[in-house]
Structure formats: C-alpha cells, structure tokens
Amino acid sequence: MNPLEMSKWLLPGLLAGLGGCGLIVELASERNLWQKNSRDFYEEAKRRVPPLGGIPLLILLIVIMFWARTFYMLPAILIGLVGTVDDFMKLGIKGINRPLKAREKIVLQLLIGVLGAYLWGRTSSIWEIGWVVIVFMAVVNATNMTDGIDSLLAMTSIVSVLFSMLLLPAYGAVFFMLVGFLIGFLWFNAHPADIFMGDTGAFTIGGILATIFLRSRQELYLLLIGIVFVVETLSVIIQVTYFRKTGKRVFLMSPLHHHFQKLGWSEPQIVFRFTFFQTLGGMTATVIAYVLAR
Amino acid sequence: MNPLEMSKWLLPGLLAGLGGCGLIVELASERNLWQKNSRDFYEEAKRRVPPLGGIPLLILLIVIMFWARTFYMLPAILIGLVGTVDDFMKLGIKGINRPLKAREKIVLQLLIGVLGAYLWGRTSSIWEIGWVVIVFMAVVNATNMTDGIDSLLAMTSIVSVLFSMLLLPAYGAVFFMLVGFLIGFLWFNAHPADIFMGDTGAFTIGGILATIFLRSRQELYLLLIGIVFVVETLSVIIQVTYFRKTGKRVFLMSPLHHHFQKLGWSEPQIVFRFTFFQTLGGMTATVIAYVLAR
C-alpha cells in the first residue's frame, strides 16, 4: 500500500477518533452520560467517564462496509452493536437500566459467530463452524477483558494491528483506519481518561481482528499477535477455576492488569509494559509466518 | 526488510532497552545516581530519577557501527557522548559537578556537524557545509528540548521512526533497533518514570535522525516527520525572543509541553496528544514524498 492510499484510511480514522470522541466528551458532560449502575469498577473515580468512545469506530466501519462492499465485515459490526446496546443500558437512560445478562451476550456472540463462518467460507464441516464460533467468541471477549486500564486496549491493539499488517497486508485499509482511530481516541483516553471505548469499542476491535484472521485462515497467529489478550483471558480463567476449587486466589485480582495495579504499578506503567510483551508476541508471529512460508 | 531481518534489529533493541535501563535503575537506587545539582526541573519529584537511560542505546549504536561498518553514524555517537559527559557531570560524582556550559556544547555540536558534512559527502561548497551543520545542531537540540515529560520523546520518536522507515527503507536496520530500544526503555520511563534518557538519549536520537536524513539529502522532510520537535523548538525561540523584546511571555512556560502541563494536562495526555500531531506530520511527509516521486 502506497502512502497516498495509506493516508486515505489513516486520516479518516484519526479524524473520527479525535472528532467523534471529542463530541461524545462534550455531550457527556452536558447530559450526564456515564455508567450509573455498573459495579465492576476498580476505582470510584472512573465512574464519571462516558463509555461510548467505540461508537465513532463502529460508525466508520459501517460506512466503509457499504462504501467498499466489504460485507464479510458484518460480524464485527454486529458484535459492536451488541456492545452498544450494553453500553447504553449501563447509562441508565429512559428507564432501561440493566446491562445485558451474560447468557444473552453469549447467545448473541454465538449466532454472530455462525454467521461469520458462512460469510468467511468456513463451513466445510460442523467442526469447522464450531471452531470458528469458538475463536470468534474467544477473541471478542479477550479484547473486552483487556479493556480496563486507561489506554491499555488502545495501545496493545495498535501494536497488534501494526504486526497484523506485515502478516496480512491485503487488509491494510481496515488496519490503517483502526490505527488512526485509536491514535485519535487516545487524545481523550490518555490517563486520566475522559472517555472509555466501552463494550462497543472492545467488541468491535476484537471483531475486526477475528474477522480478518478467520477469513484468512490464519487465526492461530492471533495467539501471538494478541498475546496480551490471551494472557489476560487466561488470568481470568485461572483465577475463577482455582478459586472455585480451593477458595483461594492466584492473582491479587483478575484480569491480570488489576493484579499489577494492586502491586503498585501506575496505569501508564501497565500500558507500556503490556505493550512491550505485545511487541514481542507480534514479532514472534511474523517471524514464524515468514519462516514457514520460505 | 523481511520479518527475520527485522527481528534481528528489533530484538537487540528491545533487550538493550529493558536490560540496560533495568540495570541502571538498580544501580541508581544503590548508589544514589541522580541529578543533584540541576535546577531545570519543573517538578521536585523528578530529581530522584537517574538520567542515564540513553547509555544502552549509545553502546548498542557503537557496537553496530563497528560490527556493520556504518562509520557514517559516527556523528550520532559523538553527539551522544557529549550528552553522556553532561549527564555524568550532573550526577555530581568525583567532585565534577557542573554541567557543560551552553558555549561548550555549541562548539562541540558545531565540530561534530562539520565532521558529519564530510562523512555524508555534503561538502560541495562552504554553504552546504554550513547548512549541514545548522540542520544537525537544530535536530539534536530539538529532540533534547522535547525531552521533558515522561515518555514524550520516546513516543514521539517511535512515531517519527516508523514514518521514516517508509521514507528511507534502506535504513530499516537502525530504525528497528531504535524503535525496539525505545519500547524497552518505556518499561521504566512510563509515568511516573524510574529513569530518564538524559542528554545522552536525546542527543543520540536526534543524531541518528539527522545523520540518516542528511546523508540521504532528505533533511527537509524532518520538518514534518519531526513536527513535534520543530514546534517545541519554535516555542522556546518565540518565548525567549518575545520576552526579551516586551518583557512578557507568550506561553505559560516553554518548551511547549510545560505550557500544557501548566494548563492542567497530565503527562500521559501531553504524550498521546503530541503523538497525534507527530502522526499527522509523518503521514503528510510520506504523502508529499510519494507524490513528488511519481
């Protein structure tokens, strides 16, 4: 992709991130758009932050899908919309004030995963469909679990996407759009954040990565390209499983970023240190892919 | 550059950044290696931080110069060493406790710039030598002025270097090494920083960029690729000039990052917002270069 082509995708991303999130920050402070009935915050201070930063990304992705006819991207958009429903419910406007139940989310994710398997041509057997659904659900929940520290999911996603470009250059357009958006989003999400990307943002990012890697049949590389997402997920599984069996905890708190927060790492320290490992993972993935292709 | 080649430069950078800076952080707390006689800190809290984080970068660059016979890199190394002298003098060990005087630094920079003009084959006239010296001095002082907020110079440099790779892919090796080093360095330099890169780091980064762009005769692109460095420098020039003429200040404080700090922006906010502009500048530079080359 030449620089002119690159800027055609990077610039709209940058502007959507800066302009869209800036608008939401303005509206939020006028209209009290923050999470009034969420109990899952580590710090009280984070409650008065609007969780709607993913919406400009989702809108951009919808526009691109219709404009560039990239309908294989539909599952990423649908999962993003599931996040949006959840985010708006958390705001407690119009009397609707319960978030989606875990079961409802899982059923929706499963259905969207099945749709993905068809759109991406991965329906050779029931096993393949099942595998695609599992990977899709794992990825979108992994990015969602990573989102819990200011700038953490944005920075680790930028690194993932930059290495993904080396692996799957055909998807450069969406990748540059996403990097641009995240750099714009970080203007307002830098610690202390004025906006969160919410489930909308986290699910959409996971959805984009899952879509591109599953459609390219390269999904195993996500284990390395998104190593931070994988480890965050494992930390939750280990914590919950171990606690149910023994009544004791492995980590001070899960997902893993909260463990380090309790150990005294600042939010920027967690961000840059997790980003370091994401870089190692991305580098390893591209080296393996290159060596295997030789 | 293929991924295997890339990792050959990225990985040593990552390890030198993490290992080298980690070692310095350990040594510093044992031996009280911080700036005892520097008066130029905005915040008192930053005094007890060792300013030696650039040294692993400088050592890596020296090893590479001898190993890969890239002797055109000598000016970057020499200017880095000027920084090291300054950093060690600031530590106040062995009775030597004054930093280099401004005049001494300028004379050394000027001499190194002249050496650069010869090494980079830019000696067609006295005017060209003068131009090379001016650009070299401007760049190394610009990166040095930008270094004043935790992670600011590291993050803006990573973005500059990534766009520089698109412009001058022949220098991919040094670029990847530098990006790797900075990601490792950020492990300890994330706010609140346990280490600074010091004049050693800031001069070396400026020296590398100046060397590569001057040797390639593409130095004008540095105005865009390093737009944050340019604007930081201009803010100092404007502040000083205006103050001398009128006795009033244009900015609350210069360089520009301190102006925004006084306006209430947090250090991570300054870092990510300046990085946004560095991205715009880098994108513009690569687009211009591409369009001109068509």
Inter-chain residue contact B18 with A276, CB threshold 8 Å: yes
Nearest to B81 by CA among B201, B239, B234, B255: B201
- Tens digit of pLDDT at every position of chain A (294 positions): 899 999 999 999 999 999 999 999 999 888 777 666 555 555 666 667 889 999 999 999 999 999 999 999 999 999 999 999 988 887 876 656 677 788 999 999 999 999 999 999 999 999 999 999 999 999 999 999 999 999 999 999 999 999 999 999 999 999 999 999 999 999 999 999 999 999 999 999 999 999 999 999 999 999 999 999 999 999 999 999 999 999 999 999 999 999 999 999 999 999 999 999 999 999 999 999 999 998
Min Cα distance B144 → chain A (Å) is 22
Contacts for A114 with CB less than 8 Å, ≥ 6 apart: A129, A133
Inter-chain residue contact B3 with A276, CB threshold 8 Å: no
Give A-chain residues touching B190 at CB under 8 angstroms.
Answer: 266, 268-269, 271-273
The span from the CA of B164 to the CA of B20, in Å, is 25
Residue among A180, A187, A276 minimizing CB distance to B184: A276
Chain A stretch 148-167, residues whose beta carbon is closer than 8 A to a beta carbon of chain B: 150-151, 162, 166
Give A-chain residues touching B283 at CB under 8 angstroms.
Answer: 3, 6-7, 10-11
b/e burial code for range B212-248 (CB count within 10 A of at least 16 → b): bbbbeebbebbebbbbbbbbbbebbeebeeeeeeeee
* pLDDT reading at B45 higher than 90: no
- When pLDDT is averaged across residues B65-85 and rounded to a whole number, the result is 95
Give A-chain residues touching B282 at CB under 8 angstroms.
Answer: none
Inter-chain residue contact B280 with A14, CB threshold 8 Å: yes
Min Cα distance B135 → chain A (Å) is 26
- Chain A touched by B249 (CB under 8 Å): no
> Residue A43: its pLDDT value, please?
60
> How many residues are present in chain A?
294
- Chain A touched by B19 (CB under 8 Å): no
Inter-chain residue contact A151 with B268, CB threshold 8 Å: yes
> Residue B46: its pLDDT value, please?
67
For B118-177, write each residue's pLDDT tens digit: 999 999 999 999 999 999 999 999 999 999 999 999 999 999 999 999 999 999 999 999
Give B-chain residues touching A286 at CB under 8 angstroms.
Answer: 3, 6-7
Min Cα distance A186 → chain B (Å) is 6
* pLDDT reading at B42 higher than 60: no
- Chain A touched by B45 (CB under 8 Å): no
ipTM: 0.94
Inter-chain residue contact B273 with A187, CB threshold 8 Å: yes
The span from the CA of B145 to the CA of B205, in Å, is 12
Calculate the CA dihedral of residues A131, A245, A265, A284 and round it to 10 degrees.
-30
Inter-chain residue contact A191 with B266, CB threshold 8 Å: yes
b/e burial code for range B30-61 (CB count within 10 A of at least 16 → b): eeebbbeebeeeeeeebeebbbbbbbbbbebb
Please tell me the least confidently modeled range out of A49-53, B28-32, B59-63, B80-84.
Answer: B28-32
Tokens (6 digits) for A1: 């992709």
CA angle A239, A243, A245 (to 5 degrees): 125
Give A-chain residues touching B10 at CB under 8 angstroms.
Answer: 279, 283
Inter-chain residue contact A191 with B269, CB threshold 8 Å: yes
- Chain A touched by B261 (CB under 8 Å): no
